[in-house]
């Protein structure tokens, strides 16, 4: 068994999380998860994202419909991106070069197809 057979997350999912983390950092800059702030503030940001997942599930239950798969996937990707960004922040200075590249738009990632229901 090779190490690649042990991986459980697809490249599509990981790329989507990276793209969302980069998008959020570029949008929020000094207010992003990667910026210096308290862990309590990071938790509030993360809880807000989890709340959006819960809202979709709750709305679907109240309306007697299945959850919107694409919306749920987008919200889960956003939640995953905030979790990953928090971990990235905890890595400290070693992550600074990657953040600088992201700030300069050097990512090669595209957000266009996220939530389309599958790989393009």
In the chain, domain spans: 11-103
* Average predicted confidence (pLDDT) for the chain: 83
**Mean local confidence (pLDDT), 106-119:** 44
pLDDT in tens, 48-100: 999 999 999 999 999 999 999 999 999 999 999 999 999 888 887 556 666 67
- Cα–Cα distances (Å) from 95 to 24, 49, 82, 89, 108, in that order, read 16, 23, 15, 7, 18
Q: Does the reported pTM lie above 0.95?
A: no
In the numeric block, the tokens 């590249």 are attached to 101
Write a three-state SS string for 18-87.
Answer: HHHHHHHHHHHHHHCCCCCCCHHHHHHHHHHHHHHHHHHHHHHHHHCCCCCHHHHHHHHHHHHHHHHHHH
Of 95 and 16, the one with more pLDDT? 16
pLDDT band of 120, cuts 50, 70, 90: very low
Using CA atoms, how far residue 63 sits from 25, 54, 86, in Å, is 34, 14, 34
pLDDT given at position 109: 45
Query: What does the pLDDT read at residue 59?
Result: 98
């Amino acid at each position: 068994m090779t190490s690649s057979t042990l991986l459980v997350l697809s490249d599509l999912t990981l790329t989507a999380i990276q793209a969302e983390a980069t998008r959020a950092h570029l949008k929020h800059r000094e207010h992003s998860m990667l910026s210096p702030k308290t862990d309590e503030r990071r938790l509030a940001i993360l809880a807000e994202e989890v709340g959006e997942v819960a809202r979709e599930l709750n709305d679907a239950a109240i309306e007697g419909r299945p959850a919107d798969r694409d919306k749920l996937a987008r919200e889960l990707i956003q939640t995953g991106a905030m979790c990953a960004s928090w971990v990235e922040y905890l890595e400290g200075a070693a992550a600074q070069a990657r953040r600088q590249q992201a700030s300069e738009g050097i990512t090669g990632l595209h957000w266009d197809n996220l939530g389309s229901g599958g790989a393009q």
